[in-house]
Structure 1
Amino acid sequence: MNLTPASELSLRELSTLFSRSFEDYFVQVPDSPFLFDARMRSEHISLADSRIARVGGEPVGLVLIARRGRMSRVAAMGIVPAYRNRKLGGAILGPLMEESRARGDTRMVLEVIEQNTPAVKLYERLGFQRVRRLVGFVGTPAPEPATLEEVEPVECARLLPEGLPWQLAPPTVAGLAVPVRAFRLGPAVAVLGDLSAPTLALRAIAVEPQVRGKGAGSKLLRALASVHPGKPLSVSVIVPEGPCERFFLRAGLTSPRLSQQEMAHFA
């Protein structure tokens, strides 16, 4: 097995390999160059630092590495079904951890589905430590009509606190582009995924600091439910347990079965 830069493959080839590497996984990944490109841009994935795993020249897996400042993130690591259970995971990720240290990163982070016990154990063997548990939500808030103002996602990003997981962090939200849309109701702003999808994907929600805890966020969720009647609202499994979790539960959403562990390796 050898590793080559992901930048050697076309966007089309990367999208297909990405999808194949997550076949029969807990969460299915569509083969969509458009979505793959959007993810790279918003999450700051570096194809020069990402790697393709090859056996006999054939691509059998990939690791996507994102970078911000002196921190890097394993945005995804997958292996095609025919080459799983061959202990390739550590052989793939180990060299990338060395590259991260060599370029001066102080931390490498990742998220792993908590129910994926072999993957959690692999990362722990490599020295990653559990940081916090991440959860998601789904449900339909009680609708309450209100007039929404469409704004740019950066308006939400400016209101988000520091210390959020990578996919919820201000730089990620600020980098989201069409078909993602953002809407404001008073001091609250929400960012949504493709509005034509059967489920309303809430990418982020934030409230101006001086009025947090006074119901503005919940009111915005109810307004969105009114504008999109019958559509369930979903939040990816990237929300830290704690105050954010309680906000969604109070709004009438429930947590699905899957959860994630955010893990970190410190240089």
Structure 2
Amino acid sequence: MHNKVMSNAAANWNSYQLAEILSHCFEGYLVPFTIDGETFASRFSAEDISFNDSRVWTQDGEPKALAIITRRGQTSRLAAFALRPELRGQGFGKQFMQQLINEARARGDKKMWLEVIVGNDGGLALYERMGFVRQQTLVGFNAVNSTLFTETGELQEIDPMVMAKKMMTDSGQRLPWLTAPETLYKLPGKAYVLNDVAYAMVATSPQPPRVRMLYVEPTARGQGQAKKLLTLLRERFPGIFTATAIPESFAPLFESSGFRQDPCTQYEMLLNL
């Protein structure tokens, strides 16, 4: 007979162990997922992981489920949540989610965010039962063609913090956690500016490169600066793409700039605590 499932703070494991547990727990999920220790540390540190609030559930001493909680102020996010196949379909998902919500309320959080892949009907149904509400659809893009790159000097490399500060002071926008400036400037990569008004954050390793986010000064919007910036990036970095973390409202811009939308999409969801 198995012992009961025990809840533990993720702080009891290091990043390499947590990466192995997360990959193990995602076995058989809709979209295959694996992560190594270095990538785990880099990615979730940038997303502001709270090791004390993240949870590993064990049974007979073996990790069986993992929840990664990231936090900023009074807002938290379920950055990853996975259960081993032997625990699925037995009500553990609802039990663990209720624990995470109760703990968020107890520490004074006001909101909890998460993303769920469209097509993960079981996950979506669980989150909606727990009170999460869809806010927007997040998509990704792939460059479909490029021309021979010619250095024109129009793109200037800058400190990523300069772009992040510009975005932070723009009170008129709310971006998903993964593309928020608080995440972007901590990730490895480069930032570029065009005409002192249009900015892009690009991850250049590992290959192929990825556009993490764009930003255009409010006074320069609607003048084609973002489209020109994307076109220059597509020429400079053949095969460039984005993660599935871009608000769907950006689709016309990317598609008109030589990008094709990826079929994988996500819902961004919110629970007001």
Which one of 218, 222, 227 corresponds to residue 236 of structure 2?
227
Query: CA separation in 2, counterparts of 1:25 and 1:37?
Result: 22
Residue of structure 2 equivalent to 1:167: 178
> Which consecutive residues of structure 2, in runs of 5 or more, have no partner in the other structure?
none
Would the aligned equivalents of 1:149 and 1:183 in 2 still touch at CA under 8 Å? yes
Paired position in structure 2 for 1:194: 204
Distance 2:74 2:229 in 1: 36
Normalised TM-score (structure 2): 0.89
Q: Secondary structure at the match of 1:105?
A: coil
Match for residue 130 of structure 2? 126
State the partner residue of 1:21.
25
Look up the match of 1:64: 68
Mapped pair 1:245 → 2:255:
no
Q: Report how far residue 151 of structure 1 moved.
A: 1.6
| 8 Å Cα contact 2:251/2:261 also seen in 1 | no
Aligned residues: 261
Give 3-state SS (helix, strand or coil) of 2:260's partner: coil
Amino acid at match of 1:245: A
Q: 2:260 aligns with which of 245, 250, 254?
A: 254
Letter in 1 for 2:135: V
Inter-partner Cα distance in structure 2 for 1:213 and 1:158? 22
The alignment's TM-score, normalised by the length of structure 1, stands at: 0.90
Structure 1 position 136 matched with structure 2 position 140: yes
* 1:14 Cα deviation after fit: 0.8
Q: After superposition, what is the alpha-carbon deviation per residue over 1:109-154, rounded to whole angstroms, capped at 9, x for unaligned?
A: 1010111000000001111111112121112354463323222222
CA 1:196 to 1:122, structure 2 compared with 1: closer, same or farther past 3 Å? closer
Rounded to whole Å, the distance in 2 between the matches of 1:100 and 1:91 is 14
SS at match of 1:159: helix
Segments ≥4 residues shifted beyond 4 Å? none
Whether 1:209 aligns to 2:218 is: yes
Secondary structure, counterpart of 1:16 in structure 2: helix
- In 2, Cα distance between equivalents of 1:7 and 1:151: 36
CA spacing shift, 1:181–1:24, aligned 2, 3 Å:
farther
Identify, as 1 or 2, the structure richer in strand: 1
Shift, 1:158, TM fit: 2.8
2-structure distance, mates of 1:133, 1:219: 25
Does residue 182 (structure 1) correspond to residue 182 (structure 2)? The answer is no
Partner of 1:236: 243
Indicate the percent of aligned positions where both proteins have the same amino acid.
Answer: 33
Instruction: Report the alpha carbon displacement of residue 181 of structure 1 after superposing the two structures with TM.
Output: 1.9
Root-mean-square deviation (CA, aligned residues, Å) is: 1.8
CA distance in structure 1 between the aligned counterparts of 2:206 and 2:39, rounded to whole angstroms: 15
Q: Secondary structure at the match of 2:54?
A: strand
1:158 aligns with one of 165, 168, 185? 165
CA contact (8 A) 1:182 1:192 kept: yes
Contact 2:231–2:258 (8 Å) recurs in 1: no
| Aligned partner of residue 111 in structure 1, secondary structure | strand
Change (3 A) 1:129 1:21: same
